Amino acid sequence: MARFITTSSSSPTLTTSTAATASSSSWSSNATSTATSISSHSRTSRKSRYTSSHLLNAFASPTSRSSLSLSSTSSNDLYRGFLTTLVILLRMSSVAYGITDRLIVQTTSGPVRGRAVTVQGREVHVFTGIPYAKPPVDDLRFRKPVPAEPWHGVLDATRLPATCVQERYEYFPGFSGEEIWNPNTNVSEDCLYMNIWAPAKARLRHGRGANGGEHSSKTDPDHLIHSATPQNTTNGLPILIWIYGGGFMTGSATLDIYNADIMSAVGNVIVASFQYRVGAFGFLHLSPVMPGFEEEAPGNVGLWDQALALRWLKENARAFGGNPEWMTLFGESAGSSSVNAQLVSPVTRGLVKRGMMQSGTMNAPWSHMTSEKAVEIGKALINDCNCNASLLPANPQSVMACMRAVDAKTISVQQWNSYSGILSFPSAPTIDGAFLPADPMTLMKTADMSGYDIMIGNVKDEGTYFLLYDFIDYFDKDEATSLPRDKYLEIMNNIFNKATQAEREAIIFQYTSWEGNPGYQNQQQIGRAVGDHFFTCPTNEYAQALAERGAQVHYYYFTHRTSTSLWGEWMGVLHGDEIEYFFGQPLNTSLQYRAVERELGKRMLNSVIEFAKTGNPAVDGEEWPNFSKEDPVYYVFSTDEKTEKLQRGPLAKRCSFWNDYLPKVRSWVGSECENNSAESAAVSIIYEKQQNLLKWRKIKIDIVKENDNLNTKIKFIMKNHYFYEFFLKKNEVKIFVFNNFS
């Protein structure tokens, strides 16, 4: 249930739902709000104002004055004084109404009233908590979203909406570095709301009134909506639409770090964000085991939430002064993967053709799962909630009725029982045959991405944040850890437990430190392995695929460790560190950034704005070429003046290992390898027993023809030797075996 300001002759009534009980004060630090002064005027209803204007006319007309019985000069003076005071009060009231009216927008769902903030001398109108779907509660739990019912009163859109149901991270109680990612509003299933920032001047110039821009207050003095000149369909501001991350398990559009006051004001753009369901509430997938009742829990409803929000924004873009053909999606981590999904899904394909992906793509291991795995996880949750998954085939309705009767907190807690290791979340976009018809790379192979503009990238140390949380008994958030070799191997084998033994040995060799100070290097190398495997290298691979399919791709790499970071130095440039810079937070002078960081924040914000306007993020005459497999050029965001802005990669050698070499190792060991003759490649593998490499010598060359049983030969070599190399040639595989010469 939403909040409405009634328009009756009595004082208006404010009704509040659990979906929006938090104060918006947490988003007021960057701006001066005029909401307080406006709210006092909004207590007078539209009908009361109309009646007051007629009272003024009655006192001001000669006929009315002659009908009054005034017997003396003093009476006339009293009358004039009263009339003057009344005129002044009513004029002040009309000015106040004008301010209030400017903050009302007529949407396809009904009128909404926002608040005004002033940011760096520019006024921005902010609308928070606008419902775009019915509350997904009771029978709507686990189902696709249903559009919100239209309303008739003016909706109070001045307070932050609820956060969708999730658990808090409390590994480090009281630590602000962790707390900034936890919900800052009440948690509720009634959470499908959105927020919009619109520059005041542009909104009033391009926005429309109640009749699509044709309304005039002169012809209808009783209308609350501010009138605006009709605009040509080519007019309007760009719209940036933010999708938050959180591993599809947590996150909220209301977090302080996502406050778009500065972005909207400085960039002169409209910014929107919205809540979507996470965890089992957003991704419970059971349709394959419920024939005839697929809509009970189809899966991916969190993505369907996003799609409905995008369509609402497209329909209402002009009401806020935006251009519906000028929409750009941007997001980070799971939000970035969501941007990816919305761009390629047949459900939303073509709705938006410009996307910015920060540290997350659909081909990443954590970013999608098979239907079979999702069903398995769903059944486990049902049993953990005492609803008996074995009854699904025969009586799916009773099972789902049971699941809808379980309190939200129980589901929120029990779903984590299926967490299976670092970045193996129990909820993720599912290959369901509908929203995602096939796995991400298969979809990309046939997708026509011509006409799409993509900005994509990573931060320098993507893996350290997750390494700390999953191996908290080994590492400290503040100080670097000297990790013995046996512990290093234990952690690496744990992280990559789903890989084959040959793959794990290849990974361990690739990320073994051959330099001094191995203890601290072991910690760093594990962080690099996690970041490369789960983030940077999937992004690299997907960016190449996007370019091959016709998209204009611009790659960035963020390497600056912010001076405001609360995490240990060893963690470097953390996953998510770039967000505050893209949102322009360093331009907030009340925050303690260095001058070079403010300049970096300005440059990064300008890049986002320029990308939203033109599809190319280059600013100030700088060159930023398109990224491709043949020319993998990327732009470095850094405060170091010595750093080359344009480089190639990123991490070309390390990502070649993940994207090219490792799949070949998998095929060599997992098949007869008849087809491994197309190109040259090399993979070095080392076992746990480390020897002095100066004592190793190549003592045997074994050439295996393609007709030989290569699988058996490789297994024999790997079993009996510690260090060896495979060189794949056109018609043969050369195996170089190293033995201990001493």
Closest CA to 192 of 77, 302, 86, 328: 302
Written as one letter, the residue type at 107 is T
User: What is the CA angle 244-247-252, rounded to 5?
Assistant: 35
Phi first, then psi, for residue 558 (nearest 5°) are: -100, 120
Q: What residue has token string 């491709």?
A: 628
Concerning whether 333 is annotated as a catalytic residue, the answer is yes
The residue from 427, 505, 575, 580 that is catalytic is: 575
Written as six digits, the tokens of 409 are 């907190």
Closest CA to 677 of 726, 714, 738: 726
Residue 569 exposure: Cα atoms within 13 Å on the Cβ side: 3
The residue from 123, 178, 332, 462 that is catalytic is: 462
Reported as type and span, the H/E element at residue 714 is helix 710-720
What SS3 class is residue 270? strand
Residue 356 CA to residue 340 CA, distance in Å, equals 9
Written as one letter, the residue type at 242 is W
| b/e map 412-444, b = 16+ CB within 10 Å | bebbbebbeebbbbbbbbbbbebbbeeebeebb
DSSP letter assigned to residue 169: P
CA dihedral angle for residue 529, residue 531, residue 536, residue 541, rounded to 10 degrees: 50
The residue from 287, 333, 345, 638 that is catalytic is: 333
Residue 493 CA to residue 364 CA, distance in Å, equals 19
What SS3 class is residue 530? helix
CA dihedral angle for residue 142, residue 147, residue 151, residue 156, rounded to 10 degrees: 70
Written as six digits, the tokens of 555 are 């790659």
Beta bridge partners of 163: 187
Percent of residues in the chain assigned helix, strand, coil, to nearest 5? 40, 20, 40
Cβ count within 10 A of residue 335: 28
Q: What residue has token string 């100066």?
A: 694
Cβ count within 10 A of residue 453: 20
Concerning whether 25 is annotated as a catalytic residue, the answer is no
Concerning whether 462 is annotated as a catalytic residue, the answer is yes
Residue 591 CA to residue 598 CA, distance in Å, equals 10
Please identify every residue annotated as catalytic. 333, 462, 575
